[in-house]
Amino acid sequence: MSTSRLELIALPGLPLVQPGDDLAGLIDAGMAAAGLSLAAGDVLVLAQKIVSKANGRIVDLRTIAPSPRAVELAAAVSKDPRMVELILSEAVEVVAHRPGVLVVEHNIGVVVANAGIDHSNVEQADGSENVLLLPEDPDADCRTLRRSMADRHGVDIAVVINDSVGRAWRNGTVGLALGSAGLPALWDLRGDVDLFGRTLEVSQQALADELASAASLVQGQGDEGYPVVLIRGLEFPVDDQTARALLRPREEDMFR
Amino acid sequence: MSTSRLELIALPGLPLVQPGDDLAGLIDAGMAAAGLSLAAGDVLVLAQKIVSKANGRIVDLRTIAPSPRAVELAAAVSKDPRMVELILSEAVEVVAHRPGVLVVEHNIGVVVANAGIDHSNVEQADGSENVLLLPEDPDADCRTLRRSMADRHGVDIAVVINDSVGRAWRNGTVGLALGSAGLPALWDLRGDVDLFGRTLEVSQQALADELASAASLVQGQGDEGYPVVLIRGLEFPVDDQTARALLRPREEDMFR
């Protein structure tokens, strides 16, 4: 990869996203507001929350009847049983838990605290207790947006959906790729050589995750948030591989 | 954080670093070659390998006599006993292992495969088997460079030392902060509110790790590597906190 200069631009002026909104149209408006046109090789990074909202992944906790298993687990981790029910319904398995936190393998394969379900940045009305779930198929959402941008602008771009997630061993959250399209999410450097002609030891770079973290630097998280970031200057081959390539198969994982 | 536009620039033309080299001088030359001057608020991200080399953290495996424990463990994980001896001497504890990989808590607190010891990008001569160890105190190296740049240029900058590391649950490596100075490595968002005025749930952002990953996008890993990246445009308060703040205390860690 010979990228040596990269620009990250948060798109200004995006309105609050509502279920059913057309993200491609909103992004076009944001690009225009920034005085920019999409170019081949651009990468768009979208915050999970706007994709989930556009997809209508909003659930009112008042509609959830917790199962006996959820009630039991909720007591063990001191959480709302309805939330635990929702987390379990979004998860393949519980990886670890302690008071306040259920770390699960989400249905989309990502290992994430509380199934990525968020109270923040969700509109409430009439005493509702709305929470936001992760997209059901973020790779597909990325592919759809990528095709849509090719149709609208005649350029081949890449798309990443990111979220802020916790990790093993380290404090704080980093941006992680829930989905991607159009770039090698797991960049294979095997066969490349080092400065002295020997084969590289570090051989697979989690490109989509690094883009997700980079974008997070300009997205912010609160009321100043910029949910869409344009990354310009990255050199990469078009690739059908998606963020699924970043999921380590359970049988190869030493940490669950 | 109101950062909305960020630029990452890999400094061109840095020579191969040798033990004892003055990194501040090399970086000044790289900045000049790029036609740039350091400005207040700039962040410099340095690849671990050049800091380790400047610090002389090179060991010839031929000088290592493995202990009985290293020999035993080496057989279990199919590794060179001398390498295992070095890994153990760099580590506080072995967190997990399997053939080819020893995941340890390094003396500097980071959980990392094979203690971050690397064969790649190290010069060899006369049949030597040189490997490169992590810096002994990367936070101190960052502070030193930060002060040095303040003395040379009269500007307050931040410094991060990054390395490409593997993770639990996910394939591929990402840039991680081994050390930092001059910025809040763990950015505390507690007390901030969301779009609707409610307190944020995701409350601590691993800022130094996200900068480390972002820089990795332009550093490359092989013969085209750019070990120093300038990040310009980030808005952050000067802070005494270092990358140590990113280390989760063992007793709070669910994954070891």
Indicate the residue of B169, B186, B246 with minimum beta-carbon distance to A255.
Answer: B169
- Give me the pLDDT at residue A1, please: 45
Residues of A in contact with B6 (CB under 8 A): 7-8, 214, 217-218
SS3 of residue A192 by DSSP = coil
Indicate the residue of B6, B97, B201 with minimum beta-carbon distance to A118.
Answer: B201
- Give me the pLDDT at residue A13, please: 82
Give the Cβ contact number of residue B189 at 10 Å: 20
Residues of B in contact with A224 (CB under 8 A): 1-2
Give the residue carrying structure tokens 């409610």: B198
Alpha-carbon dihedral sign for residues B51, B56, B61, B67: negative
Give the residue carrying structure tokens 């690009």: A31
**A81 contact partners, CB below 8 Å, separation of at least 6:** A66, A70, A71, A74, A75
How large a percentage of chain B has pLDDT more than 70? Answer: 93
A vs B, Cβ pairs < 8 A, gives 255
pLDDT digit string, tens, across residues B51-83:
999 999 999 999 999 999 999 999 999 999 999
User: What is the CB-side half-sphere exposure of residue A189 using CA atoms within 13 A?
Assistant: 24
Cβ separation B194–A222 shorter than 8 A:
yes
SS3 of residue B22 by DSSP = coil
Indicate the residue of A216, A218, A246 with minimum beta-carbon distance to B171.
Answer: A246
In a mutagenesis test of the B interface, which of A217, A219, A254 is the best target, namely the one with the most B β-carbons within 10 Å? A217
Residues of B in contact with A210 (CB under 8 A): 174-175, 213-214, 216-217
Alpha carbon distance A187, B88 (integer Å): 30
Cβ separation A225–B195 shorter than 8 A:
yes
Indicate the residue of A172, A198, A207 with minimum beta-carbon distance to B246.
Answer: A172
Instruction: Find, in chain B, the residue whose alpha carbon is nearest to that of A3.
Output: B218
Give the Cβ contact number of residue A244 at 10 Å: 16
Q: DSSP assignment of B144-200, as one string?
A: HHHHHHHHHHS---EEEEEEEE--SSB-SBEEEEEEEESS-SSEE-TT-B-TTSPBP
Indicate the residue of B187, B211, B218 with minimum beta-carbon distance to A4.
Answer: B218
Instruction: Find, in chain B, the residue whose alpha carbon is nearest to that of A196.
Output: B121
Instruction: Find, in chain B, the residue whose alpha carbon is nearest to that of A224.
Output: B2
- A246 to chain B nearest CA, in Å? 5
Alpha carbon distance A21, A92 (integer Å): 29
Alpha carbon distance B61, B82 (integer Å): 6
> Given pLDDT bands bounded at 50, 70 and 90, which one contains residue B190?
confident
Cα-based distances in Å from B245 to B127, B135, B143, B180, B215:
41, 18, 15, 10, 20
Domains and CATH numbers, chain A: 40-48+137-248 (3.30.1330.100), 58-132 (3.90.1660.10)
Long-range contacts of A78-82 (CB under 8 A, 24+ apart): none
| Mean pLDDT confidence for B93-114 | 96
Model confidence at B1: pLDDT above 50? no
> Given pLDDT bands bounded at 50, 70 and 90, which one contains residue B162?
very high
Output the average pLDDT for chain B: 92
> Given pLDDT bands bounded at 50, 70 and 90, which one contains residue B141?
very high
Cβ separation A225–B175 shorter than 8 A:
no
Instruction: Find, in chain A, the residue whose alpha carbon is nearest to that of B211.
Output: A214
Model confidence at B97: pLDDT above 50? yes
How large a percentage of chain B has pLDDT more than 90? Answer: 81
Model confidence at B109: pLDDT above 60? yes
Residues of B in contact with A171 (CB under 8 A): 186, 204, 206, 245-248
- Give me the pLDDT at residue A201, please: 60
In a mutagenesis test of the A interface, which of B2, B7, B8 is the best target, namely the one with the most A β-carbons within 10 Å? B8
Instruction: Find, in chain A, the residue whose alpha carbon is nearest to that of B216.
Output: A210
Cβ separation A217–B6 shorter than 8 A:
yes
Lowest mean pLDDT across A213-227, B206-220, B234-248: A213-227
Cβ separation B195–A16 shorter than 8 A:
yes
Indicate the residue of B193, B213, B256 with minimum beta-carbon distance to A214.
Answer: B213
Cβ separation A186–B169 shorter than 8 A:
no
- Give me the pLDDT at residue A126, please: 85
In a mutagenesis test of the A interface, which of B45, B162, B174, B198 is the best target, namely the one with the most A β-carbons within 10 Å? B174
Token code pair at residue A162: 């990111």
Instruction: Find, in chain A, the residue whose alpha carbon is nearest to that of B102.
Output: A254
CA A92 vs. chain centroid, Å, equals 18
pLDDT digit string, tens, across residues B11-34:
998 888 999 999 999 999 999 999
Residues of B in contact with A198 (CB under 8 A): 119-120
Residues of B in contact with A196 (CB under 8 A): 121-124
pLDDT per residue of chain A (256 residues) written in tens, 0 to 9 = 457 899 999 999 888 899 999 999 999 999 999 999 999 999 999 999 999 999 999 999 999 999 999 999 999 999 999 999 999 999 999 999 999 999 999 999 999 999 999 887 788 888 899 999 999 999 999 999 999 999 999 999 999 999 999 999 999 999 999 999 999 999 988 767 666 666 666 589 999 999 999 999 999 765 557 999 999 999 999 888 999 999 999 999 999 8
